[in-house]
């Protein structure tokens, strides 16, 4: 896409220049067309046609602008966290602290993720999860295998080291 950007900009610049030249060559016809379609000519009073026609749509343009601004503010929440980037951040980075686009995500190196990259990252994630679970199991086994300490022996209800078994009060 980076190669096409200058071509697109040059094409749009040329198209705008052609439109301006044609407008200037036919200014009278374009001006009359614009006056008729905005309602500023052929009406009983000055600008009556504008305010009852095209001008009455200004409020609707304002409403559409407000809706557009609201949508932008909603989408801005999901923008890439790279300063100045307007792309939508779809990919989590730093353990989910940031949303980044594919161009700024460190794993993607500026290219959209390929199937191979997705598989590799998934495999690495599973390996990390397996290692983490193994470490947690190891810690759990270590804690469960610990002998009871002296502090545990003085808990209420814990057996004392030299305590006799309670007498059996069963009668036969």
Choice between 165 and 137, residue whose per-residue pLDDT is larger: 137
CA distances from 72 to 67, 88, 89 (A): 9, 11, 14
Task: Calculate the average pLDDT of the chain.
Answer: 80
Please determine, for residue 135, whether its predicted confidence score (pLDDT) is greater than 60.
yes
List, for residues 21-75, the tens digit of each pLDDT value. 998 999 998 888 888 777 777 667 667 777 887 788 888 999 999 999 988 888 7
Give the model's pLDDT for residue 145.
Answer: 86
Distance, CA of 26 to CA of 34 (rounded, Å): 12
pTM over 0.85: no
């Amino acid at each position: 896409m980076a190669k096409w950007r200058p071509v697109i900009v040059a094409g749009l610049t040329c198209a705008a220049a052609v439109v301006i030249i044609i407008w200037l060559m036919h200014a009278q016809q374009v001006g009359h067309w614009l006056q008729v379609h905005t309602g500023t000519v052929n009406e009983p009073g000055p600008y009556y046609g504008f305010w009852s026609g095209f001008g009455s749509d200004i409020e609707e343009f304002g409403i559409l602008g407000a809706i557009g601004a609201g949508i932008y503010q909603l989408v801005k929440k999901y923008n890439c966290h790279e300063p100045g980037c307007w792309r939508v951040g779809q990919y989590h980075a730093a353990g989910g602290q940031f949303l980044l686009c594919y161009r700024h995500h460190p794993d993607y190196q500026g290219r959209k993720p390929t199937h191979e990259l997705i598989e590799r990252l998934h495999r690495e994630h599973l390996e990390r999860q397996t290692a983490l679970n193994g470490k947690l199991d190891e810690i759990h086994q270590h804690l469960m295998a610990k002998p009871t300490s002296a502090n545990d022996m003085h808990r209420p209800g814990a057996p004392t080291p030299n305590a006799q078994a309670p007498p059996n009060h069963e009668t036969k």
